[in-house]
Amino acid sequence: MKKFEDVIGHEQVIEHMQMAIEKDRISHAYILNGENGSGKKMLADIFAAALQCEEHEKNPCGKCKSCLQAGSGNHPDIIKVLHEKASISVEDIRTQLNADIEIKPYSSKYKIYIVADADKMTEQAQNALLKTIEEPPAYGIIMLLATNKNKLLPTILSRCVTLDLKPVSTELIRDYLMKEYQVPDYNAELSARFSQGNLGKAVRYSTSEEFNESKDKILHLLKYVESMQVYEILEGVKQLGEHKMDIYDYIDIMMLWYRDILLYKASGNPNQLLFRSEYPYIKRQAEKIGYDGIEKVLRAMDKAKERLRANVNFDIAMELMLLVIKENGND
């Protein structure tokens, strides 16, 4: 079973949780806020196991009956609130949480509810939950896991302890990938930086052949886009669309490429580049494009993300963005 020392980073969140256990100052409601892959679920599981542990220490012992149940996912007093649709409905909250919390714990001091994707609750579901958060039974603890806490009602935010998961350092992630997954140092460094502090993403990037193939295709497009014909750009986008990578990852890779161009243009130092092996191409593009051109390209990338969030077709969003890159490649 995982313990707090198994978590990479998030020292302040862990300190808060362990202090609450030690001083017996447990809140009835928590929000763990952080992007997907940041470690919210792992932290919530460890915290819940520690709260229910029969040893009553700052860490789950991993040996008592309660810990064994928690570790196997079968603890009767640690309940995962599930949903089958895109949003969490009022019925989900009423049946799985509000009605259930009225029943006293089966075998433990607390009854703990972990709500993943809590920011996907409808407004009606949030209002139904609010009533329980306002008047919870003494044994009730609710943990809301959210990627965007601002989608939760202010009334819920004000009644919960919010723990924000901050990005993990590149060095910690790189060392973890090299130690736990035997990832080569260059790949570990690239994955750690590209993940922007998200350990889950870094693991996915460093261990996925799909990601590495997609990355190579994207870099090929970026290296030659200013000399490509429009039909060649369209073909390149079509090839990207055949991969199953997260659509925002494509643009994030491109943003890092232009970050390198900007960095080299400003400093002339190739040692600071993320894509150091592509130095000749970055140097050439940095000499051709102006600062205004880089700004226009980065704005086009942000615009592409907006279009994708608005459900614009992937091919169209990427084509429009790459055409802006082509236009500004020779400022």
19 phi, psi to nearest 5 deg: -65, -40
Is there a single domain that holds both residue 221 and residue 73?
Answer: no
**CATH number for position 26:** 3.40.50.300
- Whether 163 and 33 have beta carbons less than 8 Å apart is answered as yes
Residue 230's domain is classified under what CATH number?
A: 1.20.272.10
Question: What are the pLDDT digits (tens) for 192-223?
Answer: 888 889 999 899 888 888 788 888 888 888 88
Asked, for residue 36, whether it belongs to a domain, the answer is yes
Among 69, 72, 48, 73, smallest CA distance to 59 is for 48
Q: Are 10 and 166 in contact (CB under 8 A)?
A: yes
The answer as to whether 182 is a domain residue is: no
Residues 227 and 296 in one domain: yes
Residue 128: pLDDT band with limits 50, 70, 90: very high
- Helix residue spans in the chain (DSSP H): 11-23, 40-52, 65-72, 90-93, 123-134, 154-157, 170-181, 185-195, 199-207, 209-224, 230-241, 247-267, 279-288, 291-309, 314-328
Considering the domain architecture, whether residues 20 and 154 belong to the same structural domain is answered as yes
Residues 19 and 125 in one domain: yes
Same domain, 226 and 160: no
Tell me how crowded residue 309 is: count the other CB atoms within 10 A of its CB. 11
Handedness of CA 248, 249, 254, 255 (dihedral sign): positive
* Eight-state DSSP code of residue 100: G
Give the tokens for residue 130. 């609010």
**173 inside domain:** no
Distance from C-alpha of 237 to C-alpha of 215, rounded to nearest angstrom = 13
Whether 319 and 216 map to the same domain: the answer is yes
The rounded distance, in Å, linking the Cα atoms of 191 and 245 is 14
pLDDT tens across 281-317, in order?
999 999 999 999 999 999 998 998 888 888 888 888 8
- The answer to whether residue 122 is domain-embedded is yes
- The DSSP code for 97 is I
The tally of CA atoms less than 13 A away on the side-chain side of residue 81 is 33
Indicate the pairing of strand 29-33 with strand 161-164.
parallel
Residues 281/287/291/297 CA torsion (nearest 10 deg)? -30
Give me the domain span that covers residue 235: 208-328
- Asked if the structure places residue 44 within a domain, the reply is yes
**pLDDT for the residue numbered 101:** 95
- Judgement on whether residues 216 and 93 belong to the same structural domain of the protein: no
Domain match, 160 and 21 both: yes
Mean pLDDT along residues 254-262? 90
Count structural domains, the chain: 2
Is 283 part of any domain?
A: yes
User: What pTM, to 2 d.p., does this model score?
Assistant: 0.76
* pLDDT tens digits, 58-93: 999 999 999 999 999 999 999 999 998 889 999 999
Same domain, 10 and 149: yes
pLDDT in tens, 265-278: 999 888 888 888 88
Same domain for 212 and 160: no
Provide the token pair at 121.
């609750």
Q: Given this model, what pLDDT does residue 155 score? A: 95
Residue 101 in any domain: the answer is: yes
DSSP structure class, residue 96? I
β-strand 140-146 against 78-81: which pairing, if any? Answer: unpaired
Asked if residue 240 and residue 151 are part of one domain, the reply reads: no
Q: Residues 202, 207, 210, 213: is their CA dihedral positive or negative?
A: positive
Q: How far is the C-alpha of 157 from the C-alpha of 138, rounded, in Å?
A: 20
Same domain, 158 and 224: no
With bands split at pLDDT 50, 70 and 90, how would you rate the model's confidence at 20? very high
**Does residue 197 lie in a domain region?**
no
